[in-house]
């Protein structure tokens, strides 16, 4: 028989398998819309990015066309004595193009607002302010999403297996971690969690209980100088959750060890 297949709490690439269900207060996601957009998948983020600009361009283009229609500018296209709200605006397509030029500050010069249109001046101010807000929001969202450390984490390599062995005459749980890139991880620190269900003395069952595994917090060994591969060691002593676990029981127990490495990328 092959090795027993277990459902992992955290995948090898760091992806968490926990999914939230029966969430009723979904409005809480909208109160923090920036984080919600950053957490979206790339295809949805790009769709929101495109729609944010397309909708505002279409919306203001429709208003520019409506102002020209209400003022009668579209009925005096060939009347050179008539002063329109926007010069050379002869339909919805040109209004849409003028909306894009206004919000993106392209300013080709063919279509330009006149000083005889107070409602157009107010609309121009509103679109300029709203366009700056949309730019700041969407560009900030894309920057945060691009700078996420998901790809950088792929060059941080952990050993495929952890081992329990004697080290300096002490029984230790050990694994190895290394960085493949030349740019260093600054202020790197590491910690480990034991994920295991347990039952308390009162009979309460706690699923997926989290217990800290000491990897050098007391001595400062958890703060890494990760310029070469390092061996991380957890001493199995009286304070360790593995102290009363035999080798035979260790092979049968259902638990998971999650290792978390945190730090800042030197280049960014």
Please say whether the beta carbons of 102 and 128 come within 8 A. Answer: yes
Q: Can you give the pTM of this predicted structure?
A: 0.68
Q: Exposure pattern of 151-181 as b/e (b: 16+ CB <10 Å)? A: ebeeebeeeeeeeeeeeeeeebbbbebebee
Q: Which of 153, 151, 155, 171 is nearest to 163 (CA)?
A: 171
CB neighbour list of residue 56: distance below 8 Å, 6 or more residues apart: 103, 127, 130, 131, 134
Q: Which of 71, 135, 72 is nearest to 102 (CA)?
A: 135
Say if residue 113 is in the same domain as residue 168: no
Two tokens, residue 232: 């991380």
Say if residue 86 is in the same domain as residue 156: no
For residue 57, with 0-12 CB atoms within 10 Å meaning exposed, 13-18 middle and 19 or more buried, which class applies?
buried
What does 143-203 look like in DSSP terms, one character per residue?
HHHHT-TTTGGGGEEE-S--EEEEETTEEEEEEEEEE-SSS-EEEEEEEEEEEEEEE-TTS
Say if residue 136 is in the same domain as residue 98: yes
Two tokens, residue 92: 């919805």
Give the end of a domain, one of 147, 182, 197: 147
Q: Which of 146, 175, 194 is nearest to 38 (CA)?
A: 146
Give the end of a domain, one of 147, 169, 190: 147
Helix axis angle for 92-104 and 118-146, nearest 10°, is 60
Is residue 1 pLDDT above 70, yes or no?
Answer: no
Give per-residue pLDDT as tens, 230-257: 999 999 999 999 998 888 888 888 889 9
Q: What is the DSSP letter of 238?
A: T
Q: Which of 207-216, 246-255, 259-268 has the highest mean pLDDT?
A: 207-216
Is residue 149 pLDDT above 80, yes or no?
Answer: no
Q: Is residue 19 part of a domain?
A: no
Give the residues across from 232 on adjacent strands.
Answer: 175
Say if residue 156 is in the same domain as residue 253: yes
Q: Which of 229, 240, 89 is nearest to 173 (CA)?
A: 240
Say if residue 108 is in the same domain as residue 41: yes
Is residue 52 pLDDT above 60, yes or no?
Answer: yes
Residue 223's domain comprises 152-265
Q: What is the CATH number of the domain that holds 191?
A: 2.60.40.1400
Averaged pLDDT for residues 4-12: 76
What CA–CA distance (Å, rounded) separates 241 from 238?
Answer: 8
Say if residue 179 is in the same domain as residue 229: yes
Give the count of domains, the chain.
2
- 129 — pLDDT class (breaks 50, 70, 90): very high
Say if residue 61 is in the same domain as residue 116: yes
pLDDT at 43: 92
- 69 — pLDDT class (breaks 50, 70, 90): very high
What CA–CA distance (Å, rounded) separates 88 from 76?
Answer: 11
Averaged pLDDT for residues 132-137: 92
Average pLDDT, the chain: 88
Q: Is residue 18 part of a domain?
A: no
pLDDT at 5: 64
Q: Is residue 134 part of a domain?
A: yes
pLDDT at 3: 57
What CA–CA distance (Å, rounded) separates 7 from 35?
Answer: 29
What does 200-221 look like in DSSP terms, one character per residue?
-TTS-EEEEEEEEE-SSTTTTT
What does 42-108 look like in DSSP terms, one character per residue?
HHHHHHHHHHHHHHHHHHHHHHHHHHHHHHTGGG-TT-TT---SBTT--SHHHHHHHHHHHHHT---
Element (H, E) at 256: strand 256-265
Report percent pLDDT > 90 for the chain: 46
Say which range, 41-50, 112-121, 140-149, 238-247, has the weakest mean pLDDT. 140-149
Q: What is the CATH number of the domain that holds 125?
A: 1.10.287.70
């Amino acid at each position: 028989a092959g090795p027993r297949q277990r459902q992992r709490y955290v995948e090898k690439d760091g992806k968490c398998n926990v999914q939230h269900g029966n969430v009723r207060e979904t409005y809480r996601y909208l109160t923090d819309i920036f984080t919600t957009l950053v957490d979206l998948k790339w295809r949805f983020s790009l769709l929101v990015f495109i729609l944010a600009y397309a909708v505002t361009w279409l919306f203001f283009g429709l208003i520019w066309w409506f102002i020209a229609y209400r003022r009668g500018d579209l009925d005096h296209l060939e009347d050179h004595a008539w002063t329109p709200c926007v010069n050379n605006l002869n339909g919805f397509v040109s209004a849409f193009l003028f909306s894009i030029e206004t919000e993106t500050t392209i300013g080709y010069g063919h279509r330009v607002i006149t000083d005889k249109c107070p409602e157009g001046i107010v609309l121009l101010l509103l679109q300029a302010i709203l366009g700056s807000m949309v730019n700041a929001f969407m560009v900030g969202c894309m920057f945060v999403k691009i700078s996420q450390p998901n790809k950088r984490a792929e060059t941080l390599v952990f050993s495929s297996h952890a081992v329990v062995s004697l080290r300096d005459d002490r029984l230790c749980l050990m694994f190895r971690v290394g960085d493949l890139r030349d740019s260093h991880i600054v202020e790197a620190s590491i910690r480990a969690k034991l994920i295991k269900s347990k039952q308390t003395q009162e009979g309460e069952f706690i699923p997926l209980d989290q217990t800290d595994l000491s990897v050098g917090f007391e001595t400062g060994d958890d703060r890494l100088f990760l310029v070469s591969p390092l061996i991380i060691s957890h001493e199995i002593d009286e304070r360790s959750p593995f102290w009363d676990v035999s080798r035979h029981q260790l092979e049968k127990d259902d638990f998971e060890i999650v290792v978390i490495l945190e730090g800042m990328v030197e280049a960014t």
